[in-house]
Amino acid sequence: MWNTRAAVLSAALFTSSIAAHAQTAAQPPVHWELQIMRDGQQIDSFDATTTVGQARTETHHHEVMHNVGCKDTPAGNIDLSRTLTVSPIEASPDSVTLAIEAQETIEDDSAPQTVEGCKLPPQPREVTASHPGLTIPNGQWVTWTIVDKNPTLVYRVRASVPPLKTN
Q: How many domains does the chain have?
A: 1
Q: Which of 66, 65, 101, 68 is nearest to 85 (CA)?
A: 101
Q: What is the mean pLDDT of residues 138-156?
A: 95
Q: What is the mean pLDDT of residues 70-76?
A: 80
For 81, what's the count of Cα atoms within 13 Å in the CB-facing half-sphere?
Answer: 6
Q: Is residue 62 part of a domain?
A: yes
Q: Is residue 138 part of a domain?
A: yes
47 has pLDDT over 50: yes
- Is the distance from CB of 56 to CB of 30 less than 8 angstroms? no
- What predicted TM-score, i.e. pTM, was given to this entire model? 0.78
- E strand intervals along 69-118: 73-91, 95-107
- Is the distance from CB of 32 to CB of 54 less than 8 angstroms? no
Residue 103 pLDDT grade (very low, low, confident, very high; cuts 50, 70, 90): very high
The parent domain of residue 97 ranges over 2-160
Q: What is the pLDDT of residue 8?
A: 44
Residues written for the chain: 167
Q: Is residue 167 part of a domain?
A: no
Q: Is residue 84 part of a domain?
A: yes
